[in-house]
């Protein structure tokens, strides 16, 4: 009969050990750390106990060999003690025994009359040697950190108060940015599209560089140059170019940095600014948005004592007051010259007023050439064509246009900017981001009729700007768009052109009325009607192009209605007459070209976008009468 032993063989033991190791390796790190910490604590505890056991015999021996008070009394009576030195502060006695080199220390009670009596009875020498008292020093050492902390707090408070007083003293100092050698990185070669303004400021640079050439014949350097123009036209850019070309010390500050809530601070900053400028003359001072501090006096709630007016008074005095400021030229910029104080704009303060207006076709092309230097532009891109498509764009708008085109190019992973990116960038800058195209539905067809109505009336009627593009792709809040581009830039607009624009704006509503009926018109013409009303009102109240005659009946500062009800009624009547005539003209054009409208709508729905040249070619193609498919198409809508 065979028995199986419960013990395992060496091979089985190794297998068991391997499996045990594998189980240990599979445990998480947290359990391993706890186990190691447990073993560490156990080992530390064992070592500590071992040290205690090793040390305990010596402790017991020391307790056993310790000299006691009772033994001292017995040794005194036996005559073994020769000298006792008592320390009353520590309450202990150092005992010297006969025939022994070492001494013994014995703790004493607070009162030891028995010990003293026995020592005297046995003629034992007694010495009193109190140990030095270091408690005061210890207390002082403990108090030193507290004293040190208090000193730190006091020093911090003093420094903070000093900083606050320094800030209070510098509060009235000028905050103008100063450059001893201007490094604006801008020169006149970087300025384009505003040649007249650039020529004016080039003379200022010449004044600063070669002043003796003018003073030799009695000419005086102009004290101030005021740059006037719409936002984004390059006023600040011109000031940077003047600073970069002149190479003289340059101060730049905004008008809003003078004015504070505390009366007198702005005037103090003006004084400090001109003081620094006189120390560095000849120099340039550029004040941006000067209308923030230079508004007309006596029209505010603060009367003549408010902070802004005090600042303006000080500025007037510094520019042309009792003391001269030879060698200082002030260049200021504003887009609101109508609100500036008359004393600020007179000769002697701002001797020159330079208009920085919207660039013309040639100017826009020059601006595009400047901003295209650092961009990869395809050779097929025509900057002249871009300039023709962007009338009314400022220099800032054109810079943003090319930047948006560069972003489109990078997004589409192209190596250079093409006309496709340029066109998309123009659409985005003017109308907003492109939306999701509409699905083919009744709403899409209605929008197509609306946009074709705009384009058809504007093309057929005389005096309107040519159509650039008709599209059904939504942009911004508009579901469809019709673009117009003027042939040339002109600051003057004729009465016929204004009437043509009104009729073109009403073409969308006229198409809805003719095609779908007056009961099915939509709110799509809301923005068109606002523009129509504005143009008609300008014709009546400002341009004298109505039966009311050559009268300016409203001003910009007044409400839209005149002061008297009778004149207001006449104005409204004339506006209504102009708008109604243009409306009837637009309806007539749509009715006479009814079949052409249907054909164009089908093409627009199919292509979603029709360019201007293609649209005019389609008009020539469908000029002849066509079959009566139009009404049936309307019924399908």
> Does CATH number 3.40.640.10 belong to domain 177-355?
no
Domain boundaries, the chain: 69-128, 134-170, 177-355, 364-431, 442-636
pLDDT tens profile 379-433: 899 999 899 888 889 999 999 999 999 999 999 999 999 999 998 899 888 888 8
Instruction: Show the 3-state SS of 378-390.
Output: CCCCCHHHHHHHC
Share of the chain above pLDDT 90, in %: 25
Identify the CA nearest to 583 among candidates 495, 519, 496, 510: 510
The length of the chain is 637
pLDDT at 629: 36
Share of the chain above pLDDT 70, in %: 78
By DSSP bridging, strand 224-228 and strand 125-128 are: unpaired
pLDDT tens profile 205-227: 888 787 788 778 888 878 889 99
pLDDT tens profile 500-538: 999 999 999 999 999 999 888 999 899 999 999 999 999
Contacts of 537-546 with CB under 8 Å at 24 or more apart are: 537/571, 537/575, 538/498, 539/495, 539/498, 539/578, 540/571, 540/574, 540/575, 540/578, 541/571, 543/495, 543/498, 545/495, 545/498, 546/574, 546/577, 546/578
pLDDT tens profile 146-165: 888 898 998 888 887 766 55
Neighbours of 339 (CB within 10 A): 11
Identify the CA nearest to 69 among candidates 49, 86, 46, 89: 86
**Nearest-angstrom CA–CA distance, 50 and 59:** 14
Class of 442-636 per CATH?
A: mainly alpha
Judged by average pLDDT, the poorest of 101-110, 146-155, 329-338, 376-385 is 101-110
More confident site: 413 or 69 = 413
* Placement of tokens 């001269």 in the chain: 324
pLDDT at 293: 87
Contact (CB, 8 A) for 466 and 485: yes
pLDDT tens profile 483-499: 888 766 566 889 999 99
Judged by average pLDDT, the poorest of 182-191, 556-565, 613-622 is 556-565
pLDDT tens profile 568-625: 889 999 999 999 999 999 999 999 999 999 999 999 999 989 998 999 999 988 875 4
| Fold adopted by 69-128 | 3.30.720
Contact (CB, 8 A) for 398 and 371: yes
> Does CATH number 1.10.8.60 belong to domain 364-431?
yes
Q: Is 340 helix (H, G, I), strand (E, B) or coil?
A: strand
pTM above 0.75, yes or no: no
Q: Which residues are catalytic?
A: 451
**Nearest-angstrom CA–CA distance, 614 and 624:** 17
Neighbours of 11 (CB within 10 A): 8
Contact (CB, 8 A) for 621 and 614: no
Structure tokens given for 618: 């389609």
pLDDT at 34: 53
């Amino acid at each position: 009969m065979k028995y199986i032993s419960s013990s395992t063989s060496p091979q089985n033991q190794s297998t068991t050990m391997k499996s045990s190791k594998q189980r240990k390796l599979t445990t998480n790190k947290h359990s391993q750390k706890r186990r190691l910490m447990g073993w560490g604590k156990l080992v530390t505890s064992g070592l500590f106990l071992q040290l205690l056991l090793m040390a305990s015999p010596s402790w017991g021996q020391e307790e056993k060999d310790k000299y006691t008070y009772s033994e001292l009394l017995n040794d005194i009576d036996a005559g073994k003690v020769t000298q006792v030195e008592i320390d009353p502060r520590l309450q202990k006695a150092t005992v010297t025994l006969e025939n022994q080199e070492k001494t013994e220390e014995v703790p004493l009670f607070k009162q030891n009359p028995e010990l003293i009596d026995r020592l005297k009875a046995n003629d034992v020498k007694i010495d009193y040697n109190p140990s030095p008292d270091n408690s005061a020093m210890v207390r002082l050492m403990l108090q030193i950190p507290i004293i040190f902390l208090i000193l730190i707090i006091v020093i911090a408070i003093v420094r903070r108060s000093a900083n606050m007083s320094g800030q209070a003293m510098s509060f009235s100092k000028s905050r103008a940015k100063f450059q001893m050698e201007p490094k604006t990185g801008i020169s006149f070669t970087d300025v384009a599209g505003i040649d007249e303004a650039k020529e004016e400021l080039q003379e200022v640079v010449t004044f600063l560089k070669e002043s003796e050439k003018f003073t030799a014949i009695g000419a005086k350097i102009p004290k101030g140059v005021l740059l006037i123009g719409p936002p984004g036209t390059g006023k600040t850019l011109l000031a940077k170019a003047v600073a970069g070309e002149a190479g003289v010390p340059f101060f730049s500050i905004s008008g809003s940095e003078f004015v504070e809530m505390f009366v007198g601070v702005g005037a103090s900053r003006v004084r400090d600014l001109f003081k620094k400028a006189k120390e560095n003359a000849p120099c340039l001072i550029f004040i941006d948005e000067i209308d923030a501090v230079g508004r007309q006096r006596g029209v505010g709630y603060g009367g003549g004592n408010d902070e802004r007016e005090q600042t303006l008074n000080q500025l007037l005095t510094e520019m042309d007051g009792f003391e001269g400021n030879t060698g200082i030229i002030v260049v200021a910029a504003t887009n609101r010259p109508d609100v500036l104080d008359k004393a600020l704009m007179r000769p002697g303060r701002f001797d020159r007023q330079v208009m920085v207006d919207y660039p013309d076709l040639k100017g826009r092309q020059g601006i595009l050439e400047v901003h295209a230097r650092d961009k990869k532009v395809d050779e097929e891109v025509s900057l002249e064509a871009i300039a023709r498509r962007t009338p009314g764009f400022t220099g800032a708008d054109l810079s943003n246009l090319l930047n948006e085109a560069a972003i489109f190019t990078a997004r589409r992973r192209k190596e250079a900017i093409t006309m496709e990116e340029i066109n998309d960038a123009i659409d985005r800058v003017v109308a907003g981001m492109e939306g999701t195209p509409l699905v083919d539905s009744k709403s899409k067809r209605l929008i197509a009729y609306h946009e074709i109505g705009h384009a058809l009336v504007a093309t057929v009627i005389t005096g309107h700007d040519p159509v650039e593009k008709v599209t059904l792709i939504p942009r911004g809040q508009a579901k469809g768009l019709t673009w117009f581009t003027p042939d040339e830039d002109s600051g003057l607009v004729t009465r016929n052109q204004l009437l043509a624009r009104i009729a073109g704006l009403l073409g969308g509503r006229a198409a809805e009325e003719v095609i779908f009926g007056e009961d099915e018109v939509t709110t799509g013409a809301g923005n068109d009607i606002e523009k129509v009303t504005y143009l008609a009102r300008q014709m009546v109240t400002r341009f004298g192009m109505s039966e009311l005659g050559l009268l300016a009946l409203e001003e910009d500062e007044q409400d839209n209605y005149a002061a008297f009800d009778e004149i207001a009624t006449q104005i409204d009547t004339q506006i209504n007459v102009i708008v109604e005539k243009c409306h009837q003209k637009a309806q007539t054009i749509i009715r006479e070209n009814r079949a052409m409208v249907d054909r164009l709508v089908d093409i627009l729905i199919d292509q979603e976008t029709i360019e201007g040249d293609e649209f005019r070619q389609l008009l020539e193609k469908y000029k002849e009468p066509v079959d009566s498919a139009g009404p049936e198409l309307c019924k399908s809508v």
